[in-house]
């Protein structure tokens, strides 16, 4: 539904303003299209004037029409392979209009009953590359045009609501979240509850940079480091897909693009620039601690005398600032961006520099009741419920500062209108606060702990080639890219100041170095096989290399994890047929073949040096139970005979001996041990667990409870083998869309995808590592979606657009890769997600708004082995639980059951003044199975670790005022979290409160 279209006004373009007449800017170009040459069109339904406008663009023809003839007439659009005359015949078939070609090659539209005076007709001739719908208009329209669920955020929205952390980019996007929003410095996308390495790839201009960062027992973050100041648009595609040139996986994809020349230059300008200045409050400069590396620990005043576990290190404490220290003009949050660009006939250039620095923010003051519950000290209490007792509402939140500096350069060479080559370079250097969740949880005075800052430098290069001549067999795209990411993050597992009594010199065992390089290529070509049948072919290859500059001194080196190192490659080939057998039915059918390999280079290097890295593996368990048995007469007689000499030796009389022997117990307690072994895939079953399979039900003389434990020979110390792990598979995608009317349609979509083990899951580490006995299978996702879309523009008399979309989805993933209770990766049976999503929007020019609502019906994780191991004695844990099993990663990926987003506003004074607001709602975290688990934890002696952090329900309000005194100057004031709510974000792994109320003032000037 390509509405609200705009023309790029250059000397070679002419803009249409249908209904009121045509205003011409610039000079005309003669029509040159050959009517016999067929080409593929994919023009969506809309008003006839819009459809003809788009058709003239794509066909490259000159068209004369009287705007009155098309006023109020709707068109179903045009899909298929047509010559110009065939296309015009199709478009005008039921309109009462006809098209005639003139002697000069132009086309003239008239009513069938009469011919109009040529002088009243207006020419339409547009060079195809010049008539463009903007990137953000196309992105927002695609949410309702595509037969798949998605959500889009454009440059204006990104810059307005970019907030305190990159994670704020996803706020307001329906059913889209990010893990560890306030303690990571990056994005870890979560779509509909699917999150983790490789499950939701995030690309920027087609390049991927994600790094898996270990978070101790709390899991891992799959971080993509991104500078919002450079981003022009973000599209989130939900569920498996084979969209062209999109790197997708089991959860979907996040596709981001950087700003371009059109974002900087006004229409018709050949050279110019943009300067953006921002300043905000609600921050305070962090007081970064000075480490004592190289000093003797007992010479540091106040340093604890347990230097290997210095949780109470006073040198890492700060005196927190309170809300009274939050000054409106403090200057502790400021940013600027300068971009210069040129647009010439043969090339385009863009250069941009962006900088932002903001200190530790202050949390909100209100609504902290959920987070102010008494700390009972029980191991089953979730720390987030008493968070406000340590991180006081309204106070400074340590480890939340950041400093980001970025460069962007883009150059596009246009060999001709159908042929271009684009080079892109991006560099983001950032310092940001973070602390390992485990170290924060064990610290004294948690709210005052300030660690040093992490550092990341992420570079990206890409070279895009596009060739789309007037040939139905060629529409070629290629993108060769590489990313280079070097990081020193506080995620190694140790302490910033660490020592031992044997080696009292302090050193930093908390920081981990990683160098991750990726190289990839993406290729695709679209072919028009027939007027109603298109074929898109695509493929990609990506090679990933991970290294670390950290020196390995042994697994017990100051609590540090292994410095992961490895190589991994993944490739795919895909095809998709788009068939339009009728004007009301569209069918898509495609498939993807993918493969991968991965190797742990750190493990190989250690073993080559003779350092075998062993893993203690639980080979099986023992079920132990006791029974009361009765001695036989013979056994009793033997007992009496063996007991008599002992009693005589103690000097008992014969009478006393006789009495004692007569009263000897006739029963005894027998101990029985039965092995509980897994199957060939390492999976445990209740069927062979003597405590649970009914073996003991008919034993009347049972004594006490059956227990499960380890005994001699139940574990094995195994050297993890070095091998290249491989996999490959085919997966299909199919969809059907049925147009019910000119304004409505329904679609049904089925898609599959596989996810191979990531680099993190293919290398050894601590609390998350390879199982030397079993090879991981790839995850296999099966996704169903049905949607209904309605264009309400005509019904509601909206000047620009009015749309409605309702979708139901069911997503099932088999062989989900999860962490076991033994801290090893393994495959669980399946995860099932179901939900309903509603998306609407409306814009009549003066008033505008959108509303979205998500109802997540189910997030069920099933695995008998996990359930049996969670409570092997009493079997209190069901095979299928909500969100995930205790101790795994999935349980921390749960999202709110209900969420809603509302944006509304208005434009005044010829759009010079715009006022708007945003309301975001999340329901509280709920998990009845987790509640039952915690209730049984003490009685059944269940393990408790990696408890998910619950959040309370929250509604936040944001608002803005944007004023444009001139076309080239915009002033904007934005208020975030206006009610100053105290809350934590869903899916967080670190107990860090979100920012409180903040104001931001910005000035944007184009020149």
pTM: 0.86
Is the pLDDT at 861 greater than 90? The verdict is yes
Give residues with Cβ within 8 angstroms of 891, minimum separation 6.
861, 883, 884, 885, 927, 930, 946, 948
Dihedral sign computed on CA atoms, order 341, 344, 349, 350: positive
User: What gap in Å lies between CA 153 and CA 101, rounded to an integer?
Assistant: 43
According to the model, what pLDDT value does residue 331 have? 81
> What is the rounded distance in angstroms from the CA atom of residue 330 to the CA atom of residue 302?
33
Which range is least confidently modeled, 3-17, 86-100, 485-499? 3-17
CB 182 within 8 A of CB 985: yes
pLDDT of 22 strictly over 70: no
pLDDT, greater one: 739 or 92:
739
Q: Calculate what percentage of the chain has a pLDDT beyond 70.
A: 93
Return the pLDDT at 340: 98
Q: Which two tokens stand for residue 103?
A: 């002697």
448-468 pLDDT tens trace: 999 999 999 999 999 999 999
DSSP state of 450: -
Q: Are 255 and 248 in contact (CB under 8 A)?
A: no
Residue ranges, CATH 3.55.50.30, the chain: 1-133
Residue 949 and residue 994 in contact, taking contact as beta carbons nearer than 8 Å: no
In whole angstroms, give the CA distance from residue 382 to residue 913.
47
Residue 458, helix vs strand vs coil: strand
What is the sign of the dihedral through the CA atoms of 645, 648, 654 and 660? negative
- Which CATH fold topology does 1-133 show? Phage tail protein beta-alpha-beta fold (3.55.50)
Q: 708-757, pLDDT tens digit by residue?
A: 999 889 999 888 889 999 999 999 999 999 999 999 999 999 999 999 99
In a 3-state reduction of DSSP, which class is residue 214? strand
Burial of 244 from C-beta contacts in 10 A (0-12 / 13-18 / 19+) = middle
**For residue 721, what pLDDT is reported?**
86
Q: 610's torsion region: left (phi>0), alpha (psi -120 to 50) or beta?
A: left
The pLDDT, as a whole number, for residue 555 is 59
The per-residue pLDDT for 94 is: 80
pLDDT, average across residues 873-877: 94
Residue 49 dihedral angles phi and psi, to the nearest 5°: -65, -40
How many CB atoms sit inside 10 A of residue 757's CB?
Answer: 24
pLDDT, position 26 = 33
Average pLDDT in the 661-679 region?
94
Q: Which residue has the tokens 């869309």?
A: 737
pLDDT at residue 125 greater than cutoff 50? no
Q: With 50 as the cut, is the pLDDT of residue 27 above it?
A: no
pLDDT tens digits, one per residue of 933-966: 999 988 888 888 888 999 999 999 999 999 999 9
pLDDT of residue 21: 32
Beta bridge partners of 58: none
- Quick check: 558 and 293 in contact, CB under 8 A? no
HSE-up of 241 (CA within 13 Å, CB side)?
A: 25
3-state secondary structure 527-592: EEEECCEEEEEEEEEEEEEEECCCCCCCCCCCCCCCCCCEEEEEEEEEEEEEEEEECCEEEEEEEE
Tell which CATH architecture fits domain 261-617+718-1006.
Beta Barrel (2.40)
pLDDT at 160: 97
Identify the DSSP state of 776.
Answer: P
* CA separation for the pair 41, 53 (Å, rounded): 13
Q: Where along the chain do the CATH 2.40.170.20 domains lie?
A: 261-617+718-1006
| Residue 563, CA atoms < 13 Å, CB-side half-sphere | 24
Q: Is the dihedral of CA 941, 946, 952, 953 positive or negative?
A: negative
Is residue 283 pLDDT above 90, yes or no? Answer: yes
pLDDT at 23 over 50: no
Radius of gyration of the chain measured on its C-alpha atoms: 33
Q: What is the mean pLDDT of residues 395-423?
A: 96
SS (H, E, C) 234-265: EEEEECCCCCCCCCCCCCEEEEEEECCHHHHC
Band of residue 109 on the pLDDT scale cut at 50, 70, 90: confident
Residue with the two structure tokens 């895009």: 464
Q: 365: which 2 tokens?
A: 């003051």
pLDDT at 13: 29
**Range 296-316 average pLDDT:** 96
- What was the pLDDT predicted at 781? 98
Measured CA to CA in angstroms, residue 564 lies from 605, 616, 720, 748, 944 at distances of 11, 19, 14, 43, 27
Confidence (pLDDT) at 130: 39
Burial of 550 (0-12, 13-18, 19+ CB in 10 A): buried
Spatial neighbors of 651 by CB under 8 A, at least 6 apart, are none
Which of the four pLDDT bands, split at 50, 70 and 90, describes residue 93?
confident
Predicted pLDDT of residue 72: 75
Q: How would you classify the pairing of strands 621-630 and 779-791?
A: unpaired
Q: How far apart are CA 773 and CA 763, in angstroms?
A: 14
What does the pLDDT look like over 205-216, one tens digit per residue?
999 999 999 988
Count the Cβ atoms, other than its own, within 10 Å of residue 657. 17
Q: What's the pLDDT band for 119 if we cut at 50, 70, 90?
A: very low
In this prediction, residue 944 carries a pLDDT of 86
541-592, pLDDT tens digit by residue?
999 999 999 988 765 678 888 899 999 999 999 999 999 999 999 999 999 9
Evaluate if residue 34 carries a pLDDT over 60.
no
With cut-offs at 50, 70 and 90, classify the pLDDT of residue 147. Answer: very high
Residue with more model confidence, 194 or 13: 194
């Amino acid at each position: 539904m390509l509405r609200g279209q705009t023309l790029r006004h250059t000397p070679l373009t002419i803009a249409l303003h249908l209904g009121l007449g045509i205003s011409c800017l610039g000079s005309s170009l003669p029509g040159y299209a050959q009517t016999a040459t067929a080409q593929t069109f994919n023009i969506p339904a809309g008003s006839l004037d819009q459809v003809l406008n788009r058709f003239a663009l794509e066909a490259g023809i000159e068209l004369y029409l009287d705007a009155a003839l098309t006023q109020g007439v709707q068109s179903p659009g045009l899909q298929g392979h047509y010559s110009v005359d065939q296309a015009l015949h199709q478009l005008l078939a039921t309109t009462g209009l006809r098209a005639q070609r003139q002697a000069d090659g132009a086309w003239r539209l008239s009513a069938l009953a009469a011919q109009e005076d040529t002088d009243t007709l207006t020419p339409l001739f547009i060079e195809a590359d010049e008539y463009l719908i903007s990137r953000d208009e196309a992105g927002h329209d695609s949410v309702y045009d595509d037969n798949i669920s998605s959500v889009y955020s454009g440059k204006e929205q990104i810059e307005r609501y970019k907030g305190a952390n990159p994670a704020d980019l996803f706020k307001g996007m329906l059913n889209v979240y990010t893990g560890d929003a306030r303690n990571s410095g990056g994005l870890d996308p979560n779509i509909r509850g699917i999150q983790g390495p490789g499950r939701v790839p995030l690309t920027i201009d087609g390049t991927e940079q994600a790094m898996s960062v270990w978070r101790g027992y709390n899991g891992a973050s799959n971080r993509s480091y991104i500078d919002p100041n450079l981003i022009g648009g973000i599209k989130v595609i939900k569920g498996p897909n084979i969209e062209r040139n999109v790197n997708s996986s089991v959860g979907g994809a996040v596709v981001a693009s950087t700003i371009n020349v059109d974002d900087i230059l006004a229409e018709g300008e050949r050279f110019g620039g943009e300067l953006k200045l921002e300043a905000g409050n609600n921050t305070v400069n962090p007081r970064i601690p000075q480490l004592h590396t190289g000093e003797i620990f007992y010479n540091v005043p106040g340093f604890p005398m347990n230097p290997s576990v210095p949780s109470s290190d006073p040198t890492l404490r700060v005196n927190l600032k309170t809300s009274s220290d939050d000054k409106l003009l403090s200057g502790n949050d400021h940013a600027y961006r300068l971009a210069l660009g040129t647009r010439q006939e043969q090339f385009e250039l863009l250069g941009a520099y962006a900088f932002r620095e903001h200190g530790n923010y202050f949390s909100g003051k209100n609504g902290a009741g959920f987070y102010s519950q008494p700390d009972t000290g029980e191991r089953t209490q979730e720390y987030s419920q008493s968070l406000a007792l340590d991180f006081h509402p309204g106070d400074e939140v340590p480890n939340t500062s950041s400093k980001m500096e970025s460069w962007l350069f883009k150059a596009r060479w246009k060999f001709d209108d159908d042929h271009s080559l684009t080079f892109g370079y991006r560099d983001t250097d950032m310092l940001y606060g973070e602390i390992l969740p485990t170290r924060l949880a064990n610290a004294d005075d948690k709210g005052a702990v300030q660690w040093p800052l992490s550092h990341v430098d992420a570079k990206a290069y890409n070279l895009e080639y596009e060739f789309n001549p007037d040939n139905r067999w060629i529409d070629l795209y290629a993108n060769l890219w590489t990313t280079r990411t070097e990081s020193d993050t506080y995620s190694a597992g140790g302490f910033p100041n660490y020592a031992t009594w044997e080696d009292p010199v302090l050193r930093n065992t908390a920081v981990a170095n990683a160098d991750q390089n990726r190289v990839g290529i993406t290729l695709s070509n679209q072919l028009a096989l027939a007027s109603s049948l298109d074929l898109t072919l695509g493929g990609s290859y990506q090679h990933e290399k991970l290294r670390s500059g950290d020196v390995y001194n042994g697994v017990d080196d100051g609590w540090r994890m292994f410095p992961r190192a490895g190589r991994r490659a993944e490739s795919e080939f895909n095809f998709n047929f788009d068939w339009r057998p009728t004007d009301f039915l569209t069918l898509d059918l495609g498939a993807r073949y993918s493969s991968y390999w991965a190797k742990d280079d750190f493990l190989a290097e250690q073993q080559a040096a003779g350092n075998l890295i062993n893993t203690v593996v639980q080979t099986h368990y023992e079920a132990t139970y006791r029974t009361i048995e009765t001695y036989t007469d013979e056994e009793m007689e033997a007992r009496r005979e063996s007991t008599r000499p002992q009693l005589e030796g103690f000097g008992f009389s014969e009478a006393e001996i006789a009495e004692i022997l007569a009263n000897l117990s006739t029963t005894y307690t027998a101990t029985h041990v039965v092995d509980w072994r897994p199957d060939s895939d390492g999976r445990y079953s209740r069927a062979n667990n003597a405590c649970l399979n009914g073996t003991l039900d008919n034993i009347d003389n049972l004594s006490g409870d059956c227990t499960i434990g380890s005994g001699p020979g139940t574990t094995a110390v195994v050297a993890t083998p070095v091998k290249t792990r491989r996999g490959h598979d085919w997966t299909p995608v199919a969809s059907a869309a049925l147009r019910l009317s000119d304004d409505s349609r329904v679609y049904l979509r089925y898609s599959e995808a596989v996810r191979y083990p990531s680099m993190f899951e293919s290398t050894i580490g601590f609390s998350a590592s390879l199982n030397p006995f079993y090879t991981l299978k790839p995850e296999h996702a099966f996704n169903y979606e049905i949607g209904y879309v309605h264009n309400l523009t005509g019904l509601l008399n909206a000047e620009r657009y009015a749309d409605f979309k309702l979708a139901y989805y069911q997503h099932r993933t088999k062989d989900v890769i999860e962490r076991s209770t033994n801290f090893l990766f393994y495959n669980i049976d399946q995860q099932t997600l179901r939900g309903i999503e509603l998306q609407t929007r409306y814009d009549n020019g003066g008033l505008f708004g959108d509303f979205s609502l998500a109802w997540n019906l189910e997030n069920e994780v099933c695995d008998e082995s996990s359930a049996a191991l969670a409570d092997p004695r009493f079997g209190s844990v069901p095979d299928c639980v909500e969100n995930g099993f205790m101790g795994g990663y999935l349980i921390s990926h749960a999202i709110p059951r209900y969420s809603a987003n509302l944006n509304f506003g208005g434009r005044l004074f010829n759009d010079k003044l715009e006022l708007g607001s945003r309301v975001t709602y999340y329901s509280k975290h709920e998990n009845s199975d987790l509640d039952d688990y915690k209730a049984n934890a003490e009685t059944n002696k269940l393990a408790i670790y990696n408890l998910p952090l619950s959040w309370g329900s929250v509604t936040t309000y944001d608002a803005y005022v944007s004023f444009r005194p001139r076309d080239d100057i915009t002033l904007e004031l934005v208020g975030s979290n206006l009610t100053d709510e105290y809350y934590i974000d869903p899916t967080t792994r670190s107990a860090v409160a979100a920012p409180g109320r903040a104001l931001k003032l910005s000035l944007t000037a184009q020149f």
